[in-house]
Chains A and B, each alone.
Chain A
Amino acid sequence: MTAENSQIAASSGPAPASMDVPEASISIRALEHAYGELRTIDGLDLEVGPGGVVGLVGPSGCGKSTLLELVCGLREPSAGALEVGGADGGGERLARCAYMPQRDLLLPWYSAIDNAALALRNRGLRKTEARRQAAALFERFGLAGFEQTPPAELSGGMRQRVAFLRTLVSGKPVLALDEPFASLDAITRAEMQEWLAEALGAGPRTVILVTHDVEEALYLSDRVAVLSARPARVVAELRAPDPRAPDRDTAVTDPAFVAIREEAMRALREGMR
């Protein structure tokens, strides 16, 4: 980490993640994808600038998860352009993106910290060094003391935190989050949204956040893209009034927020036809 970086970080809240992360933008143009005869994505355009957070909302089964897998290089598009950090190869996209699936998928045979440090271990770091780097983030994101806990003994919210730190520790410029809080109860979900808002403010990451919760998308993202029913395309793009405000409850009840939320809901309803 450079001295300049840490100064910026000091003035704008918590310090960035323990490692330098290059920035990357995402550029999607006229993207198409199909599973055989089934067209899942048809003519989708989306731009996410470096360090931007874009929320994707859409009806169930509209191809949101497929889109994330395409961005992450886990699938190849049928047609159109898809670039992550200026590169369109599947392997390059894979190298730039960290994926957080819907379920936490923490590996039960590893402790919380070893789960979070998986990417570092895969890159050949020794166990002690990988744990040391991950431990710094545990400390900062309210998981101190849970390093050695097996995932089965963590609460739902804690598991999601570890799962998110696992993507953050990977040090990749792009985070692809697939309905990260869908499995949590309403109160824990609100808590986790605040927690994630703070965590995302910590370091410049380009984020695509898929969710079926319009409020969650508008609270956490700079911009929300509303997708149509399958085959998916973007039917509306809305700017969030106050992304990642420190006080969530006040932010989501603000009249400007409520108005945009209703607009998003209208777009969502129209997109389903």
Chain B
Amino acid sequence: MRRWLPPALLLATLLGAWQIAASTGVLTSVFNLEAFLVASPAEIASSLWGNRSLLAENAWVTLREVVFGLGLAVISGLGFAVLLHLSGTLKRATYPLLVASQAIPILVLAPILVVTFGYGIVPKLVIVVLVCFFPIAVTSFDGLRAVDPDAIKLLRTLDGSRWQVFRRLEAPTALPYAFSGAKVATAFAVIAAVFGEWAGANSGLGWLILQDNGQFETARLFAEVAILMAMSLGLFGLLALAERRVVTWR
């Protein structure tokens, strides 16, 4: 309870200040804006409620892209980290390329993916995976390497096979690292899904944001951003919760 109090108070204060500034016209006069460009928190909340079915429908589309994309990134990232760890040759061959691949601008890649895979979920998944794969693979790989060499020797004299060294020592050592990578990736995943929708889509919150931006639906625009933030926070929270349940020794 006490942990939630400071951020909740800060948020309430900020929203209150925003509400007052918007409804008294301070925002419009200070920034010299047209009235329809300024949405107060109350207007955003009422838009959130009034458009709930439209927002829910599109949020569901984006949530699926984020969750499936993140899931695929976790599976492929962990798998790749293990392969790199087990094979020195593979590591030498691919690690520099993996790092270099991060310099490829998704901005350039996205339209190509849309042309190739169409307006469905596939190009969004590809973009989310491309963005999220790297932090998960790198942290997990570092985690696997963080094992104490003396502990490996110890396990070998305790008749541990290569697989048992992996299962009893390396994998648990790497687990907290992998969780850190996945938590970083959740923040990226939502942005990546929205970006994927901007490149070409006919549903989803990102797509809706583009529509509302063009039509100056300011209140609904903010409502969509609020949902995206909640999505990101929620996923991060779920991962943190899972980490506490799994990594009990920290």
Contacts of B250 in A (CB 8 A): 108
Interchain CB contact under 8 A, B249 and A150: yes
Contacts of A123 in B (CB 8 A): 159
Interchain CB contact under 8 A, A105 and B151: yes
Interchain CB contact under 8 A, A107 and B168: yes
Cβ of B57 under 8 Å from chain A: no
Contacts A105-B150, A150-B249; A72 near B157 (Cβ below 8 A): yes
Bound CA span A127–B168, Å: 13
Interchain CB contact under 8 A, A119 and B158: yes
B136 to chain A, nearest CB (A): 21
Pick from A97, A109, A121: contact of B157, CB under 8 Å: A97
Interchain CB contact under 8 A, A99 and B249: no
Interchain CB contact under 8 A, B172 and A69: no
Closest residue to B250 on the A side, CB-wise? Answer: A108
A-B pairs under 8 A by CB, number: 60
Cβ of A166 under 8 Å from chain B: yes
Contacts of B153 in A (CB 8 A): 69, 72, 74, 99, 101
A85 to chain B, nearest CB (A): 14
Interchain CB contact under 8 A, A109 and B172: yes
Identify whether the interface residues of B are mostly helix, strand, loop, or mixed.
helix
Interface flags, A132-149, vs B, CB<8A=1, else 0: 000000000000000000
Bound CA span A172–B158, Å: 9
Contacts A105-B151, A108-B249, A109-B249; A99 near B168 (Cβ below 8 A): no
Cβ of A19 under 8 Å from chain B: no
Bound CA span A108–B159, Å: 19
In chain B, positions 108-160 with a C-beta closer than 8 Å to chain A are 148, 150-151, 153-160
Contacts A107-B169, A107-B172, A152-B249; A101 near B158 (Cβ below 8 A): no
Closest residue to A118 on the B side, CB-wise? Answer: B158
Cβ of A98 under 8 Å from chain B: yes
Contacts A101-B153, A103-B150, A105-B154; A122 near B160 (Cβ below 8 A): yes
Interface flags, A99-136, vs B, CB<8A=1, else 0: 11111010111100000001101110000000000000
Cβ of B51 under 8 Å from chain A: no
Bound CA span A98–B158, Å: 6
Interface flags, A68-109, vs B, CB<8A=1, else 0: 010011100000000000000000001101111111010111
Closest residue to B172 on the A side, CB-wise? Answer: A109
Bound CA span A95–B148, Å: 22
B167 to chain A, nearest CB (A): 10
Contacts A94-B156, A94-B157, A166-B158; A118 near B151 (Cβ below 8 A): no
Contacts of B164 in A (CB 8 A): 122
| B interface residues, how many (CB within 8 angstroms) | 19
Cβ of B161 under 8 Å from chain A: yes
Cβ of A170 under 8 Å from chain B: yes
| A interface residues, how many (CB within 8 angstroms) | 29
Bound CA span A191–B110, Å: 68
Interchain CB contact under 8 A, A101 and B249: no
Contacts of B169 in A (CB 8 A): 107
Bound CA span A258–B249, Å: 45
Bound CA span A156–B159, Å: 26
Interchain CB contact under 8 A, A118 and B168: yes
B230 to chain A, nearest CB (A): 33
A5 to chain B, nearest CB (A): 24
Contacts of B148 in A (CB 8 A): 105
B165 to chain A, nearest CB (A): 9
Bound CA span A152–B248, Å: 11
Interface flags, A158-175, vs B, CB<8A=1, else 0: 000000001000101000
Interchain CB contact under 8 A, B157 and A74: yes
Bound CA span A166–B154, Å: 10
Closest residue to B151 on the A side, CB-wise? Answer: A105
Bound CA span A152–B161, Å: 26
Interchain CB contact under 8 A, A74 and B156: yes
B184 to chain A, nearest CB (A): 23
Contacts of B249 in A (CB 8 A): 108-109, 150, 152
In chain A, positions 42-74 with a C-beta closer than 8 Å to chain B are 69, 72-74
Closest residue to B159 on the A side, CB-wise? Answer: A122
Bound CA span A94–B157, Å: 6
Closest residue to A104 on the B side, CB-wise? Answer: B154
Closest residue to A93 on the B side, CB-wise? Answer: B157
- Which 4 pairs across A and B sit closest by C-beta, in order of nearness? A108-B249, A119-B158, A99-B157, A122-B159
A interface list, Cβ under 8 A from B? 69, 72-74, 94-95, 97-103, 105, 107-110, 118-119, 121-123, 150, 152, 166, 170, 172, 176
Known: A74-B153, A122-B160, A122-B168. 4 other contacts (CB 8 A): A69-B153, A74-B156, A94-B156, A118-B158
